[in-house]
A and B are shown apart, each in its own frame.
Chain A
C-alpha cells in the first residue's frame, strides 16, 4: 500500500515543522509550503490525500486556497483542514459547509488530536471513494 501524502501550508515555520513532524510519525509523507501560492503550485503538480492550511497568510489566504482546490478539476474532493487562531472572527460553520472542510483546527491545538482527525478524514474519504455508486 502506498504511503498517504499530506500537504501542510503554513507561513509560521515552527508550526509547519511540528505539524509535519507529527504527521510524519503517524505514517504520512509530508510536503510543506510556506505560502498559499506555493501550496497551490504543489497541489497542481502532486497528488495529496489530505491538505492542512493556515487561514491567514500573505498573498493567497487559506480560504482562497480551499476555494481554488474545490473549484478546480484536480482532486477537488481532497479532505481539507483549515488551521486558525482567529476563532472569534471566523464563521467556522459557514466555512465548513461552503468549502466542505473536514475540520477547522483552532490554535492552540494538540498535535495528537490533529493526527487523529486527519487520519479519520482520510479513512472516510478513501471509504467513500471505493463505495459503489
Chain B
C-alpha cells in the first residue's frame, strides 16, 4: 500500500513538472508569435510557429523518455522491494541523477543500503554467536557424567549427550537419534523394569525408577528419571531424560550393609558367651572351683575379644574418616611376634594346624605404632589360620635386609581366585568363594592392614593360587 502511494505521488510530481515546463514553453511561443505578427514578419512567424513547437516536442519527448526510464527503474525496484520484507534483501540501486526525484531516490537508496549493511553485520554476528552458544551447550552436556537425552512427542531421541550414548546397551553411538530410550537402554527384557506402559501413559508426570541388569548388583544398576518438558505440543509431551550409573554406589551400600550384619554378628558372639557363662555361674550353686575358674577365664577372654573388636571398629572408622594416625614408640619386634603368635595359638590348636616360625636369630627394635602393626599382622596371620582347612600348614617368616623388614605369612588354605586378587584390599570386599563366605569376616581386615603398612612407609603384597594357598608379605622400612 505504501509503495503504491509512493509511486502515484512520484509520478504525479513528474507529470506536474513536465506540464509546467510545456505550459511555460507554449506561453513563450504564443508571445513570440504575437510580436512577429504585430511587426508583419510573417515568414519569421511561420518558421517560429513550425520550428519551435517541433523542437519543444522533440526536446520534451526526449526529456520525458529519460524521466520515464528513471521512473520505471524506481517502479521496478519498488515492486521488488514490496515482495521482500527483510531490509538486507531489498536490492535497491541508485538511478542516474537526472532530476530532484532521482536525486531524492538516490539519497533514500544510499541511506537504506547503509542500514542494510549494518543489518547484514548484525545477522552475521548473531549467526556466529548462536553457533558458539550451541557448541558451548554441547560441550556442557558432554561434560556431564550423567546421561542426558531429550525425546520428542513420539518418544524418539532428538538430542543425547556422550554419557547417554555410552550407557545405551542396545545400540551403537551413531544410531541413538530417532530411537526410543527404553529400547536403547534395553529395558524391555528386564524383569524388574517399570511397566513400560506407565512410561507411555503417564507422560505428564516425572517418573524415576531404577533398573538392575542381571542377577547381581555388579551386573549394573541405572537410575533413570524422565521429566516432561513444559511446552507440551498437541501430539503429547516432549521429555528430558537423565540416566545415572549407580552400580558403584549400590555396591558400596550393599557392602556397608554386609559390614553392619557382620559387625553385629562379631559383637553378638562374644556377648552371647559372656551372658551365658555369667548366668550359668549365677544359677548353679554346685559348680566346682575349677569349673568356676574356667568360666571366669572364658568370660575374661570373650570380653577381651569384644574389646579388640571395638578397637578394630574404631580403627576402621578412623580409616574411613581419614583420621587414622600413628603413635610411634620403640617396639621390640621379637616380643611383638611372640604376642601375635599367642593370639592365634588357640585357633591353631583347635584346627590342628602345623604352625612354623622362621625367624632370624636377632630381630630389630623399630619405631612403629605397636597396636596398629600388631593388628595388621594379626589380620594376616588370623586370615591364614581362618582360611586354611583343618590340619593345614601356616608359616610366619621374617627377613631383614639392610633397609627393610619383611613379614611373610604363608598358608596352604583356600587361596584367592585371580579375578578377586585385585580387589582383596578394597574396603568391605568379601570373596564369592562359598568356603570363605561360611566364615565370619568384616571385609575390612586387609584394607586396614594395607593402610597401616602404608602409614608406616611400607607396603603389602600377595601371591596366591586357588586351592593351593596364599603368601602375604608386609614390608616396613627399618628407618623412620
Q: Which residues in A have some Cβ–Cβ distance to B below 8 Å?
A: 12-15, 17-19, 21-22, 25, 34, 56-59, 61, 85-89, 107-112
Which of A18, A25, A107 sits near B269, CB closer than 8 Å? Answer: A107
Given contacts A14-B273, A85-B264, 12 further A-B contacts (CB under 8 A): A13-B350, A14-B277, A14-B298, A14-B301, A15-B272, A15-B276, A17-B298, A56-B265, A56-B440, A89-B261, A108-B276, A111-B283
B305 to A, closest residue via Cβ: A14
B17 sits at the interface (CB 8 A):
no
Instruction: Give the interface centre of A14, A21, A22, A86 by most chain B CB atoms within 10 Å.
Output: A14
Q: A92 to chain B: closest CB distance in Å?
A: 15
B265 to A, closest residue via Cβ: A85
Q: B415 to chain A: closest CB distance in Å?
A: 16
The 5 closest A-B pairs by CB, nearest first: A107-B272, A108-B272, A85-B268, A108-B275, A18-B276
Q: B435 to chain A: closest CB distance in Å?
A: 7
Chain A residues near B439 (CB-CB < 8 A): 58
B284 to A, closest residue via Cβ: A25
Instruction: Give the interface centre of B268, B284, B440 by most chain A CB atoms within 10 Å.
Output: B268
Chain A residues near B276 (CB-CB < 8 A): 15, 18-19, 22, 108-111
Chain A residues near B271 (CB-CB < 8 A): 107-108
Known A-B contacts A14-B298, A21-B280, A108-B276; A86 and B438 likewise in contact (beta carbons under 8 Å):
no
B440 to A, closest residue via Cβ: A56
- How many angstroms between the C-alpha atoms of A92 and B354 in the bound complex? 39
Chain A residues near B272 (CB-CB < 8 A): 15, 85, 107-109
Chain A residues near B283 (CB-CB < 8 A): 111-112
Could you list some 9 contacts between A and B, CB below 8 A? A15-B269, A18-B277, A18-B280, A34-B350, A58-B435, A86-B265, A107-B268, A109-B275, A110-B276
- How many angstroms between the C-alpha atoms of A76 and B261 in the bound complex? 32
Chain A residues near B438 (CB-CB < 8 A): 56-59, 61
A83 to B, closest residue via Cβ: B272
Are A88 and B273 interface neighbours, CB within 8 A?
no
Q: For chain B residues 89-118, which have a beta carbon within 8 Å of chain A?
A: none
B276 to A, closest residue via Cβ: A18
Interface readout for B430-470 with A: 1 if CB under 8 Å, 0 if not? 00000100111000000000000000000000000000000
- How many angstroms between the C-alpha atoms of A28 and B271 in the bound complex? 25
Are A85 and B279 interface neighbours, CB within 8 A?
no
B245 sits at the interface (CB 8 A):
no
Chain A residues near B302 (CB-CB < 8 A): 14
Chain B residues near A87 (CB-CB < 8 A): 264, 268
B350 to A, closest residue via Cβ: A13
Prevailing SS type, chain A contact patch: loop
Chain A residues near B261 (CB-CB < 8 A): 86, 88-89
Are A110 and B264 interface neighbours, CB within 8 A?
no
- How many angstroms between the C-alpha atoms of A86 and B394 in the bound complex? 30
Q: A30 to chain B: closest CB distance in Å?
A: 14
Interface readout for B277-289 with A: 1 if CB under 8 Å, 0 if not? 1011001100000
B435 to A, closest residue via Cβ: A58
Chain A residues near B350 (CB-CB < 8 A): 13, 34
- How many angstroms between the C-alpha atoms of A21 and B264 in the bound complex? 26
Which of A12, A34, A57, A89 sits near B273, CB closer than 8 Å? Answer: A12
Instruction: Give the interface centre of A21, A87, A109 by most chain B CB atoms within 10 Å.
Output: A21
Chain B residues near A12 (CB-CB < 8 A): 269, 273
- How many angstroms between the C-alpha atoms of A34 and B349 in the bound complex? 14
- How many angstroms between the C-alpha atoms of A111 and B269 in the bound complex? 14
Are A111 and B265 interface neighbours, CB within 8 A?
no
Which of A13, A22, A58, A61 sits near B280, CB closer than 8 Å? Answer: A22
Which of A15, A25, A57, A112 sits near B279, CB closer than 8 Å? Answer: A112
Which of B264, B298, B301 sits near A88, CB closer than 8 Å? Answer: B264
Chain A residues near B279 (CB-CB < 8 A): 110-112
Chain B residues near A13 (CB-CB < 8 A): 350
Q: B146 to chain A: closest CB distance in Å?
A: 34
B302 to A, closest residue via Cβ: A14
Q: B270 to chain A: closest CB distance in Å?
A: 9
Chain A residues near B295 (CB-CB < 8 A): 18
Q: For chain B residues 159-187, which have a beta carbon within 8 Å of chain A?
A: none
Are A111 and B273 interface neighbours, CB within 8 A?
no
- How many angstroms between the C-alpha atoms of A88 and B259 in the bound complex? 13
- How many angstroms between the C-alpha atoms of A85 and B262 in the bound complex? 10
- How many angstroms between the C-alpha atoms of A59 and B269 in the bound complex? 19
- How many angstroms between the C-alpha atoms of A112 and B283 in the bound complex? 8
Chain B residues near A85 (CB-CB < 8 A): 264-265, 268-269, 272
- How many angstroms between the C-alpha atoms of A21 and B272 in the bound complex? 15
B294 to A, closest residue via Cβ: A17
Chain A residues near B277 (CB-CB < 8 A): 14, 18
B436 to A, closest residue via Cβ: A58
- How many angstroms between the C-alpha atoms of A61 and B276 in the bound complex? 23
- How many angstroms between the C-alpha atoms of A32 and B439 in the bound complex? 20
Q: B282 to chain A: closest CB distance in Å?
A: 10
Chain B residues near A18 (CB-CB < 8 A): 273, 276-277, 280, 295, 298
Q: B392 to chain A: closest CB distance in Å?
A: 13
Chain B residues near A15 (CB-CB < 8 A): 269, 272-273, 276
A34 to B, closest residue via Cβ: B350
Interface readout for B404-446 with A: 1 if CB under 8 Å, 0 if not? 0000000000000000000000000000000100111000000
- How many angstroms between the C-alpha atoms of A88 and B265 in the bound complex? 10
